[in-house]
Structure 1
Amino acid sequence: MASIVRPPLPYGKACATCARAKCRCVPRSVGGRCERCYRLGKECRFPEGRRKVRSLSKSVQIEQKLDGLMMLLTSGRTGLPTPTPLPADAEAETESEQENEDNQADEEALYAFRTQRLQFLPLIHIPATTTAQNLKQQSPFLWHCISAVESKNTSRQAALCVTIRELAGKQLLVDCNKSLDLLQGVLVYLAWVTFHSQPQKSSLCIYAQMAMGLVFELGFNKPAPPDLSMTISNSNAVGHMPGLKASISTRRTMNERRAVLSCYVLTSIIAQFLGRMDPLRWTPHMRECLDILTKSGESPGDGVLVQITRTRLLADQILQGPWSEGVYGPHPTQALAAFHLKAFESRFETIKAEIPLPLADNKPILFHLYDTQTSLYEVALVNPPADEEMSSQRLGHLYACLHVVRQFFDLFFTISPAEYTSLALPYLTQISHCLVTLFRLSTLDYPGWDKATVRGTVDLLDVANQIATRMGQVAAAVGMHGEEAECDPFSKLGLMMQKLGGEWAVRLPEYTGVEPDHGAGEVLPLSSVELGDLESFLRWSEMAWLTDGTGVGGSRPNLSNACS
């Protein structure tokens, strides 16, 4: 028998729940609650006095639509009146709620960037009182870069990366704009965005040059001039052309000082990494900026940036010596003189001793210390002359290098996979640096050098497997699934490390005890792994030389071999 459709109560007579939802209030034949309140388990009461017209919340709107659909299904008829259309004020409320949700997401992104990313590389100070809306207005290009870094959606992140490159090209090359906002955005791009950029081109060198060009144009590497007429670039224009503003400021801000020091750190690391550019040249004014930040109490990150900068200055001094040319070259060069080594060791110990006690266990600082110390002792890997006898001093340096590499990876494995997403470019290059050094130590043939001791101290394959496993856990740790997880750059990096470890196991039987299967065919190169765009950034395919079994005698393209 067809169900009986009862007429709804007239306007003004509906129960409070149905009236608030602007739904039909149909009484039940047995009395008590109306049909809707009975079905939803809600309290059914009638208001006293005139019903107040109230705008609908988003949840009520959805509930209203579901009620209408339910009525159609239960009645078996399609001719019932449709639910009441949303009033104009309800549509406005919906838009307002969406705007509030977007603002909340922006605030969460800014908070994550300020509290997580900047702890590894504090290149800017963003006060806790600064809202996302404030930052959008004050530094729009920087905000675009932060949004790209913090985006959890792969497709949106890819679109933001394209937007960043287009904006950078237009503002820097077309409009010739120069501002702190642009410089800070380029630094964020170098530090984090490059790892997620789609497609990943060989852009590190180009954007590093952009950052240095902005520093020169803005004059951040020199003291601020007391008057604009004293600036060479503006002396013929400012004051003579109405509306023309000088790009060089007459008062140096703290964020300008942070920017120039961060530019030095990043370009120094990229220069070492790529081997085809020079870093930002250190100047007396930059030393002054370093001293001011040392005494600054404005941001906790200033102390970290100061220590990273001081350590990087020592690393540059080590790498600029003639001995470094032989570390990765096919031909032997002069070894690090004993007096140079002792001077560098003394300087290194001074830097460590001057680290404030609250920062003694700071992981970003320790990473840079270990990487710099590795650069100091790896000069012992320079090919010795054929007539050189075993040197106890060289052996001591080799074992010191091995100990530092172990400290680096022990520290790295204390970081959870979820925290890997906050790692900036310097730490990815340091992983590559220490892996390369460990391989060379593990395959070195030198009188008195014990490869078994190397394996017992820090096992190359175990390190590679741990990195591969932990990189593969990043996506799940941050809540990524499906296609999002497959596009995750850390998952791809894990696959590369897994492939590299497998090739090491086959190519180095004397190291692993694995007998090579000569009938199994040639081992496929690293590029055979489907790595997508990430291979352009982390150029682990260039590390195929590691699997040649040539040891120290093999040539190495650059210190990086992981990024371009």
Structure 2
Amino acid sequence: MERSPHSSAYGQACTHCYKAKCRCVRARSGETCDRCLRLKKRCEPSETVRRRNVHNGHNAPAASVSDRRIARLEDKVEDLLSVIQSFIGSNTRNANTANTSLVTPDSTALTFGTSSTATVSPNPDPTYLPTQYQSTPSPSSNQTDEQLEFFRARMLPSFPFLDLGPSITAGYLRQHRPFLLHAIHTVTTFSTQERLAKAEELKRLLFTSAWSNVDSNIDLLLGVLTYLAWSTDPFLGGADLVSRLMMLAISLVYDLRLFKPSSLDVQLMMAITQGRADENGHPPSETPYAFLEKQRAVLACFFLSSNVSSHLGRQDALRWTPQMGEALRVIEITNACSTDRLFISQIRLQLLKQRADDIRQQDEAGMGTENDVASAPRLLYLKTLRRQFHELRASFAPDLQQIDILNTHAQYVELYINQMGYSITHEPQSPEEFGRAGNGGVPLGFQRLECLWRSVENIKSWLDNFYTIPTANLIGQPFHFWSQMILTVTLLKYLSTLRDPDWDCQAVRNTVHLISTLDSMLQKIELTSREPELQCDDHLLKYLTKLIARCRGWAEARWNVASQTPHNAGARHHIPDLDQMAWLQSMDLGDDQWFETALGMPATFS
């Protein structure tokens, strides 16, 4: 009869358990301990080690103590590498035995240093898939969901907060992430009428789960984030819905305790070892894939809340925390997904943009003295943001996937920083200076002129990058891309018609001609509308074409009038903040009355 496992008596631990200072539990066979058996190590008694330590005594020289510490560290590193190798072998055997698609050559990997790689199963749960899903079809089979494949190939690369490798099929998502799959089906429906029907069903499922059943799970969070990222609601009178869903996503982040202070590296290592307990004796609760899935989700929630906050103005962005910084670092060092580099760059760009927004809000709250051109701390902060931006921009690898999309995002962030600089440089308001400018307002001053001209250069660069994006890639762009396009063109309109004695509108027009720009954008969007996936009359690009065409009519009607009007005529002109355009927050491109009410554009404009 086999003996029950028990801890070794004091002083009888094996060599490896003694060095690692771990409890040495003998296996049932009695010939080895559980730890050595799991690590596939030779279990040896520690008599020689104990004897060496006794001879050294307490008066051993410092060098000897240091050597022993180094030896223990080396042994721990060796243990970790052995565990990783064992984990790889275990996954390989499981794949060969069960003939599953969970671990494939295309699976993502967690890489530590240059000597070891641990394959990560795409299963988000601690256990493997049920039997009926262990032989799911490959992505090239006839059973592959076309909408999922389109989302994976044409939409997700623009905002890759999900790791949907080829081994994750529609059947897998239907079993483990049903709400996410429903959200993917919704955002890959381009007809507005058809999408509205699917969105209603999505909301019904969401409200039942989140409110009636009071559920909080990663499936709900990922589904809500997916819908928000590719939502068309902000352009069709649904800004309130987007705001509510954003608040729900933030509440799910808190309910799932994704802000819980902890060492992400320790958790990740425990998950990789698949069986090692933490220092409190608790077993790991999730796989590496599920762990990284949550880290990407909380960062995506920050990104989207920052965009919704600034573009719709209905709530504050999710506060950046040290745990988010750790999540960003863990995703970077693991490099588990080929698109993680792009995602990390997008998050860091958005963090700079959010910091600029924070300083703008502080300025609106009354920072600085009323008669200062701009307080020194704010100008220093502006310079710091610009320096950090250029350092981040220089770190972009030229071979990065979707580099054109990343460049447009970068140009918008720099544009936002420059507009923040324009808004915080407060002009003196003395009667003499106000009289010098006449009724047209206060002259801009050097700092504001510099910020505005930098903005012109940002707009030109954004447009240059926009024109290089293939039409096939424009279809799957998320909400924030089209919102940035609208804001960029709107700001160009202000800069092209700004009446100020120190501002040269003609120089702006020579650099970026507003009407020619609108014509080029219309042509680009028209070409994109011919893509096979957009063969309907009510997709988003049709509505954006309608907006740009009417903006062109507005610009053409006022183009010569603005250039011939004296600077001191009429009301004082200014450049509004990008976050304070009420017409964008109430946008409804499907309603002709909105154009006339919000923008002063008659519905019959041709």
TM-score of Structure 1 vs Structure 2, range by shorter chain: 0.5 to 0.7
Deviation at 1:394, TM superposition (A): 2.9
Give ranges in structure 1 of 5+ residues lacking alignment: 1-98, 227-247, 515-530, 548-564
SS in 1 for 2:260: coil
Aligned residue pairs, count: 406
Match of residue 116, structure 1, among 138, 151, 154: 154
SS in 2 for 1:445: coil
Q: Which residue number in structure 1 is paired with residue 224 of structure 2?
A: 186
Compared CA separation, residues 494 and 268, structure 1 to 2 (3 A): same
Compared CA separation, residues 335 and 508, structure 1 to 2 (3 A): farther
**Structure 2 CA distance for aligned equivalents of residues 192 and 309 of structure 1:** 17
Deviation at 1:487, TM superposition (A): 1.4
Q: Which residue number in structure 1 is paired with residue 478 of structure 2?
A: 424
**Structure 1 CA distance for aligned equivalents of residues 330 and 140 of structure 2:** 38
Q: Which residue number in structure 2 is paired with residue 210 of structure 1?
A: 248
**Structure 1 CA distance for aligned equivalents of residues 251 and 380 of structure 2:** 37
Asked if 1:289 corresponds to 2:344, the answer is no
Deviation at 1:161, TM superposition (A): 1.5
Task: Give deviations 1:470-501, integer Å, cap 9, x for gaps.
Answer: 333433222544xx2x2122112101210121
Task: Give deviations 1:40-68, integer Å, cap 9, x for gaps.
Answer: xxxxxxxxxxxxxxxxxxxxxxxxxxxxx
**Structure 2 CA distance for aligned equivalents of residues 266 and 538 of structure 1:** 29
**Structure 2 CA distance for aligned equivalents of residues 391 and 118 of structure 1:** 44
Q: Which residue number in structure 1 is paired with residue 352 of structure 2?
A: 314
**Structure 1 CA distance for aligned equivalents of residues 530 and 400 of structure 2:** 31
**Structure 2 CA distance for aligned equivalents of residues 100 and 297 of structure 1:** 24
Compared CA separation, residues 380 and 179, structure 1 to 2 (3 A): closer
Deviation at 1:222, TM superposition (A): 2.4
Compared CA separation, residues 456 and 389, structure 1 to 2 (3 A): closer
Asked whether the equivalents of residues 225 and 249 of structure 1 are also in contact (C-alpha less than 8 Å), the reply is no
Deviation at 1:417, TM superposition (A): 3.3
- Whichever residue aligns with residue 314 of structure 2, its letter is R
Asked if 1:369 corresponds to 2:410, the answer is yes
Task: Give deviations 1:31-88, integer Å, cap 9, x for gaps.
Answer: xxxxxxxxxxxxxxxxxxxxxxxxxxxxxxxxxxxxxxxxxxxxxxxxxxxxxxxxxx
Compared CA separation, residues 453 and 255, structure 1 to 2 (3 A): same
**Structure 2 CA distance for aligned equivalents of residues 152 and 189 of structure 1:** 13
Q: Which residue number in structure 2 is paired with residue 492 of structure 1?
A: 543
Match of residue 393, structure 2, among 345, 348, 352: 352
Match of residue 132, structure 1, among 145, 170, 191: 170
Deviation at 1:350, TM superposition (A): 2.0
Give ranges in structure 2 of 5+ residues lacking alignment: 1-136, 265-284, 434-441, 566-585
- Whichever residue aligns with residue 516 of structure 2, its letter is D
SS in 2 for 1:253: helix
Q: Which residue number in structure 1 is paired with residue 427 of structure 2?
A: 384
- Whichever residue aligns with residue 544 of structure 2, its letter is L
SS in 1 for 2:179: helix
**Structure 1 CA distance for aligned equivalents of residues 212 and 231 of structure 2:** 22
Asked if 1:256 corresponds to 2:256, the answer is no
Asked if 1:463 corresponds to 2:497, the answer is no
Compared CA separation, residues 537 and 422, structure 1 to 2 (3 A): farther
**Structure 2 CA distance for aligned equivalents of residues 100 and 121 of structure 1:** 24
Asked whether the equivalents of residues 178 and 219 of structure 2 are also in contact (C-alpha less than 8 Å), the reply is yes
Using the size of structure 2 for normalisation, the TM-score is 0.60
**Structure 1 CA distance for aligned equivalents of residues 161 and 363 of structure 2:** 31
SS in 1 for 2:399: helix
**Structure 1 CA distance for aligned equivalents of residues 263 and 173 of structure 2:** 28
Q: Which residue number in structure 2 is paired with residue 552 of structure 1?
A: none
Match of residue 501, structure 1, among 532, 549, 552: 552
* Structure with bigger gyration radius: 1
Using the size of structure 1 for normalisation, the TM-score is 0.64
Compared CA separation, residues 111 and 407, structure 1 to 2 (3 A): same
Task: Give deviations 1:355-379, integer Å, cap 9, x for gaps.
Answer: 3453397123212211111011123
Asked whether the equivalents of residues 473 and 491 of structure 1 are also in contact (C-alpha less than 8 Å), the reply is no
1:153-192 to structure 2, matched below 5 A, reads 156-192=194-230
Deviation at 1:428, TM superposition (A): 1.4
Identical counterparts, % of pairs: 24
Asked if 1:478 corresponds to 2:521, the answer is no
Asked whether the equivalents of residues 161 and 198 of structure 1 are also in contact (C-alpha less than 8 Å), the reply is no
Q: Which residue number in structure 2 is paired with residue 435 of structure 1?
A: 489
Asked whether the equivalents of residues 322 and 334 of structure 1 are also in contact (C-alpha less than 8 Å), the reply is no
Task: Give deviations 1:190-239, integer Å, cap 9, x for gaps.
Answer: 0114459998463111010011010000011224699xxxxxxxxxxxxx
For the aligned residue pairs, the C-alpha RMSD in angstroms reads: 3.8
**Structure 1 CA distance for aligned equivalents of residues 593 and 381 of structure 2:** 33
Deviation at 1:469, TM superposition (A): 3.3
**Structure 2 CA distance for aligned equivalents of residues 434 and 147 of structure 1:** 30
Asked whether the equivalents of residues 417 and 474 of structure 1 are also in contact (C-alpha less than 8 Å), the reply is yes
**Structure 2 CA distance for aligned equivalents of residues 429 and 159 of structure 1:** 24
Deviation at 1:292, TM superposition (A): 0.8
**Structure 2 CA distance for aligned equivalents of residues 332 and 478 of structure 1:** 58
Match of residue 150, structure 1, among 185, 188, 197: 188
SS in 2 for 1:321: helix
**Structure 2 CA distance for aligned equivalents of residues 300 and 536 of structure 1:** 42
Q: Which residue number in structure 2 is paired with residue 444 of structure 1?
A: 498
Asked whether the equivalents of residues 595 and 601 of structure 2 are also in contact (C-alpha less than 8 Å), the reply is no
Asked whether the equivalents of residues 268 and 279 of structure 1 are also in contact (C-alpha less than 8 Å), the reply is yes
